[in-house]
Amino acid sequence: MSWFTRGRKHRPADPAARGLVRAHRAEVRLDREILLPETSFDLAAGRTLAVTGPNGAGKTTLLRVLAGLTRPTAGQVRVGGLAPDERSAGFRRAVAALIGMPALARNLTLGEHLRLVATSWGDDLEQAGRRADDLLDALGIDRLVNRFPHELSSGQTQLFTLALTLVRPCDVLLLDEPEQRLDPDRLDLVAGLLERLAHAGTTVVLASHSARLVDRIADDRLEIGTAS
Ligand SMILES: Nc1ncnc2c1ncn2[C@@H]1O[C@H](COP(=O)(O)OP(=O)(O)OP(=O)(O)O)[C@@H](O)[C@H]1O
């Protein structure tokens, strides 16, 4: 069993099970501004959906809606049958998201951040330490375990925030442009990790401008319309 499934239950991929993540005519408007044009999709458990489209098309807004950070002003969204709601413990348990920069503590090292999050989701200290080490290793930043967040390059920060998102269990993973600031080798490491998560049953929705990443990992694609 590999690091990301060890000791955790994951929903097995079932191509016949439709609709773990669904949007039906979901839209976000703010006054006259359209942040997300009307969008519908139906993503089965264990599949990876790549959301593409030009700058300003609404990709981040769609992820924010799925994460419960923004309410759709029209239409309906369901994740595991639940309306996205950050205040719901069941929803928080099901969904992990990396949308923008997460809050980081200046006085905690990378290893301490990862162990803190892993233990907060049920690992004991030994499991949390192993999981943190394995993740940092898989992302090629294991030698940075004792650094502080402000001592990282921008690409290293991107890898670390991915690790921080992946160190907790989830059924659904939402990622906004995980390729940002990564060189081709590190992008391949991230693609490999996401493939392994998908094979273990995690459902992934990612917004991306990287054809390399999308071609490698996407089962399904959703193109959001042209920016206004
Ligand atoms: N808080 C806000 N108030 C008003 N308009 C907003 C707000 N946030 C986003 N928008 C607008 O909503 C639209 C969609 O933005 P969004 O960030 O979802 O696009 P995106 O597809 O993720 O773009 P990019 O590829 O540049 O990251 C854009 O036109 C943006 O200017």
Distance CA 95, CA 152 (A): 27
Please report which helix (H) or strand (E) contains residue 213, including its range.
Answer: helix 211-217
Output the pTM of the full model. Answer: 0.92
- Give the model's pLDDT for residue 226: 60
Q: Which tens digits make up the pLDDT trace of 156-175? A: 999 999 999 999 999 999 99
Query: Which pLDDT band holds residue 1 (cuts at 50, 70, 90)?
Result: very low
Give the other-Cβ count within 10 Å of 49's Cβ: 20
Q: Which tens digits make up the pLDDT trace of 34-67? A: 999 999 999 999 999 999 999 999 999 999 999 9
Average pLDDT, the chain: 92
Q: Which tens digits make up the pLDDT trace of 75-85? A: 999 999 999 99
In short, whether 57's Cβ falls inside 6 Å of ligand 1 is yes
Which of 21, 76, 27 is CA-nearest to residue 48? 21
**CB-based contact 3:192 (threshold 8 Å):** no
Residue 5 has pLDDT above 60, yes or no: no
Mutation to probe ligand 1, out of 39, 60, 66, 98 (largest number of atoms < 8 A from CB): 60
Distance CA 193, CA 69 (A): 26
To 10 degrees, the CA torsion angle through 18, 21, 22, 27?
-160
In short, whether 65's Cβ falls inside 6 Å of ligand 1 is no
Q: Which residue has the tokens 């650094």?
A: 147
Least confident of 9-23, 31-45, 47-61, 205-219: 9-23
* Three-state secondary-structure class, residue 221: strand
Ligand 1, atom 26, residue with closest C-alpha: 55
- Give the model's pLDDT for residue 228: 47
3-state helix, strand, coil in the chain (%, to 5): 35, 20, 40
Distance 99 CA to ligand 1 centre (A): 13
Chain centroid to CA 54:
20
* Three-state secondary-structure class, residue 51: strand
Query: Which pLDDT band holds residue 225 (cuts at 50, 70, 90)?
Result: confident
The CA-atom distances, in angstroms, between 107 and each of 85, 167, 186 are 30, 19, 26
Distance CA 53, CA 104 (A): 30
Residue 88 has pLDDT above 80, yes or no: yes
Tokens representing 3?
């690091």
Residue 16 has pLDDT above 60, yes or no: no
- Give the model's pLDDT for residue 8: 45
Which of 169, 170, 217 is CA-nearest to residue 190? 217
Q: Which tens digits make up the pLDDT trace of 128-160? A: 999 999 999 999 999 999 999 999 999 999 999
